[in-house]
């Protein structure tokens, strides 16, 4: 399947590594202008320079609405529009059972994983409305609908993100703003190294070879940004099945 994102501008959070970096590189290859956002500038500036003139690096702490709003403003000032938002930034550390968890650290996960997605929606939707539409892709997880030991912060925030996806779809589908979630399954990123080290719950016992490459998630994000992804609007698209991988073009 041929994907063409020419003329589109995509803003990607958590773009310094893993799924975010892969999505930025892949979407640029498909013709999009890409804005790489992360809390620190070093890696995103390097990646943006490797991509070239179609890329811009902006620092942004998604847990702070003012940061998100300012970063979106820089993106629009540089490229002239905002067409695609990828709410990818997310953390799972520290993994702990509820009775042993640190309340401040638990709250920080909420600020990034859940409030960060709300901040992205709030900052981008008015711009997309003025521009005649757009696409928001929220990175979700099977944890949104399944409880896992030690992951109360992650499961709860991903469940919240799924609810935000559904609410935003209900409110803005008529304005041609598509909101869709991607549940990629387990992905070979630094997050899985953290999970492995924890030794908590069955996910930590998975072999590295069982995780999909970040590039597969990046391809799914690019695919969801096209009209092919429309049937999944307002819900999570799971990449775990062979049928889904085939639809995205990852397997024949």
Separation of alpha carbons 182 and 137, rounded Å: 7
Question: Which residue is listed with tokens 């999505």?
Answer: 23
pLDDT digits (tens, 9 = 90+) for 198-236: 988 899 998 888 898 999 999 999 999 999 999 999 999
3-state secondary structure of 27: helix
Domain that holds residue 224: 9-248
Give the active site residues. 154
- Percentage with pLDDT > 70 across the chain: 100
Q: Helices in the chain by DSSP H: which ranges?
A: 18-29, 42-51, 65-79, 103-109, 116-131, 152-172, 190-198, 214-224, 242-248
Say how many domains are in the chain: 1
239 CB-side CA count, 13 A: 29
Greater confidence (189 vs 127) lies with 127
pLDDT at 252 over 90: no
pLDDT at 117 over 90: yes
pLDDT digits (tens, 9 = 90+) for 12-57: 999 999 999 999 999 999 999 999 999 999 999 999 999 999 999 9
Average pLDDT, the chain: 96
Sign for the CA dihedral angle at 153, 116, 176, 224 comes to negative
Separation of alpha carbons 41 and 16, rounded Å: 8
pTM (two decimals)? 0.95
pLDDT digits (tens, 9 = 90+) for 45-103: 999 999 999 999 999 999 999 999 999 999 999 999 999 999 999 999 999 999 999 99
Does residue 2 fall inside a structural domain?
Answer: no
Q: What is the CATH number of the domain that holds 145?
A: 3.40.50.720
Sign for the CA dihedral angle at 185, 221, 216, 55 comes to negative
pLDDT at 1 over 80: no
Quote the radius of gyration of the chain (alpha carbons, Å): 17
Question: Which residue is listed with tokens 């981008």?
Answer: 124
Q: What is the DSSP string of 231-248?
A: GGTTSEEE--SHHHHHHH
3-state secondary structure of 149: coil
């Amino acid at each position: 399947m041929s994907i063409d994102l020419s003329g589109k501008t995509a803003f990607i959070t958590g773009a310094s590594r893993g799924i975010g970096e892969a999505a930025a590189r892949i979407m640029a290859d498909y013709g999009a202008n890409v804005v790489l956002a992360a809390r620190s500038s070093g890696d995103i500036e390097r990646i943006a320079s490797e991509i070239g003139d179609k890329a811009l690096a902006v620092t942004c702490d998604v847990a702070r609405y003012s940061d998100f709003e300012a970063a979106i403003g820089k993106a629009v000032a540089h490229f002239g529009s905002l067409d695609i938002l990828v709410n990818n930034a997310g953390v799972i550390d520290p993994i702990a059972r509820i009775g042993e968890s640190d309340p401040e650290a638990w709250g920080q996960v909420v600020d990034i994983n859940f409030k960060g997605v709300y901040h992205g929606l709030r900052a981008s939707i008015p711009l997309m409305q003025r521009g005649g539409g757009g696409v928001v892709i929220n990175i979700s997880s099977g944890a949104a609908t399944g409880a896992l030991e030690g992951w109360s912060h992650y499961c709860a925030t991903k469940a919240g993100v799924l609810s935000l996806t559904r609410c935003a779809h209900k409110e803005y589908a008529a304005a041609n703003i598509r909101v869709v979630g991607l549940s990629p399954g387990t992905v070979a990123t630094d997050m899985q190294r953290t999970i492995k080290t924890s030794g908590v719950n069955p996910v930590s016992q998975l072999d590295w070879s069982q995780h999909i490459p970040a590039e597969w998630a990046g391809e799914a994000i690019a695919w969801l940004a096209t009209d092919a992804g429309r049937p999944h609007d307002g819900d999570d698209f799971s990449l775990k099945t062979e049928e889904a991988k085939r639809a995205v073009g990852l397997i024949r």
